[in-house]
């Protein structure tokens, strides 16, 4: 009888311990800050550090464009048509006399908003849906998969052109279109990672503690799947910037009166400008290349810093 009594008392004690651990975990008291280790791992990657510097520099000069240039990006000056780079016009002027350095700075505001903003928004949608439905399974998972297949069954450029024709040509519509056409890929990636990780032993242990599904899903499993998601975001950012440039080249992207990197390149479809006026397209092409490379370098650094198998 004493053994039974002791066993029952021990079980009740463990239950109380489990309840205490669960409450502390849900309150965030057991979180172990890893910011220092993350920063050290990220900055040890030289390409990632270089990418962060270039990315920050391009974003800052774009945001501070009104302080860095006295020109209006839309002001036409017919007396300075297609002037080569000078101390007055660092990147020269275009075929209607607009200062190209100014247009590159102001264009960065829109292009970065379209590219990076669309990639992050589509990633948020894809990760939230993919992680949850991949973890719980059932009819929710099947429904989300069918919806993603509908969007991914069309070639992206065809779907983008179709939605532009339906919704109209504007900046907000372009961002919405990129989100609609871009969330499916990262959703499937997040779902696949969740299907793989949800059977791990630590997940079973978390379930035994009685933690809620969102906490297990987003707080404990998601960090172990961030590596490929980061890489996907970088690829999506590059793809959206190039897609905006391509649509602007066709006259279907952001309205031509709004300065963007794609709209600046639009004038390069003229073969005479392409051959004789290199300053019209080369500086903005270099800026686009540097920005895309910097985002990819940052993505590689984030992948290495968040990968548990590579953390020391």
Q: How far apart are CA 249 and CA 253, in angstroms?
A: 8
Q: Burial code of 140-156, b = ≥16 C-beta within 10 A, e = fewer?
A: ebeebbeebeebbeeeb
pLDDT at 281 over 90: no
- State the average pLDDT over residues 60-68: 90
- State the average pLDDT over residues 23-27: 63
The per-residue pLDDT for range 165-204, each reduced to its tens digit, is: 787 777 888 888 888 888 888 898 888 888 888 877 777 7
Report the pLDDT value the prediction gives residue 151, as an integer from 0 to 100: 81
- State the average pLDDT over residues 59-74: 88
The per-residue pLDDT for range 121-130, each reduced to its tens digit, is: 998 999 999 8
Evaluated on CA atoms 62, 66, 70, 72, the torsion sign reads: positive
**110 token code pair:** 């829109």
Distances (CA, A) of 218 to 74, 132, 147, 182, 221: 45, 8, 22, 21, 6
The answer to whether the beta carbons of residues 31 and 215 sit under 8 Å apart is: no
Q: How far apart are CA 13 and CA 23, in angstroms?
A: 15
For every residue of 83-95, which 3-state class applies, written as one string? CCCCCCCCCCECC
Comparing 120 with 274, which gets the higher pLDDT?
Answer: 120
Question: Structure pTM?
Answer: 0.75
Q: How far apart are CA 130 and CA 217, in angstroms?
A: 10
Q: What is the mean pLDDT of the chain?
A: 79
Report the pLDDT value the prediction gives residue 31, as an integer from 0 to 100: 54
pLDDT at 312 over 70: no
The answer to whether the beta carbons of residues 48 and 298 sit under 8 Å apart is: yes
Q: Is 41 exposed, middle or buried (0-12, 13-18, 19+ CB in 10 A)?
A: buried
Is domain 36-310 in CATH 1.20.1050.40, yes or no?
no
**Confidence bin at 54 (pLDDT 50/70/90):** very high
Report the pLDDT value the prediction gives residue 308, as an integer from 0 to 100: 55
Percent of the chain with pLDDT over 90: 6
Q: How far apart are CA 209 and CA 35, in angstroms?
A: 27
**238 token code pair:** 């590059």
The answer to whether the beta carbons of residues 303 and 227 sit under 8 Å apart is: yes
Q: How far apart are CA 92 and CA 100, in angstroms?
A: 6
Distances (CA, A) of 59 to 7, 74, 248, 293: 64, 21, 21, 14
Ordered by start, the domain boundaries in the chain are: 1-31, 36-310
């Amino acid at each position: 009888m004493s053994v039974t009594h002791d066993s029952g008392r021990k079980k009740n004690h463990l239950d109380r311990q489990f309840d205490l651990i669960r409450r502390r975990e849900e309150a965030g008291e057991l979180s172990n800050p890893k910011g220092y280790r993350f920063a050290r791992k990220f900055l040890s990657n030289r390409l990632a550090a270089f990418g962060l510097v270039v990315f920050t520099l391009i974003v800052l000069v774009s945001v501070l464009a009104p302080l860095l240039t006295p020109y209006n990006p839309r002001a036409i000056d017919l007396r300075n048509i297609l002037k080569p780079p000078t101390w007055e016009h660092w990147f020269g002027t275009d075929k209607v006399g607009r200062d190209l350095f100014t247009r590159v700075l102001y264009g960065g505001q829109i292009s970065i908003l379209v590219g990076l903003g669309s990639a992050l928004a589509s990633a948020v949608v894809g990760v939230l849906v993919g992680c949850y439905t991949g973890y719980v399974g059932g009819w929710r998972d099947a429904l989300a998969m069918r919806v993603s297949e509908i969007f991914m069954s069309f070639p992206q450029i065809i779907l983008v052109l179709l939605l532009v024709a339906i919704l109209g040509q504007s900046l907000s519509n372009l961002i919405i279109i990129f989100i609609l056409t871009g969330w499916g890929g990262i959703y499937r990636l997040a779902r696949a990672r969740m299907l793989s990780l949800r059977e791990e032993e630590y997940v079973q242990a978390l379930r035994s503690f009685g933690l809620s599904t969102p906490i297990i899903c987003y707080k404990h499993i998601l960090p172990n799947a961030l590596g490929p998601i980061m890489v996907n975001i970088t690829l999506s950012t590059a793809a959206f910037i190039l897609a905006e440039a391509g649509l602007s080249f066709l006259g279907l992207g952001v309205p031509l009166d709004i300065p963007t990197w794609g709209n600046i390149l639009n004038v390069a479809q003229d073969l005479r400008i392409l051959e004789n006026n290199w300053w019209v397209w080369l500086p903005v092409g270099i800026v686009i290349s540097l920005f895309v490379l910097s985002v990819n370098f940052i993505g590689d650094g984030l992948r290495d810093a968040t990968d548990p198998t590579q953390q020391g």
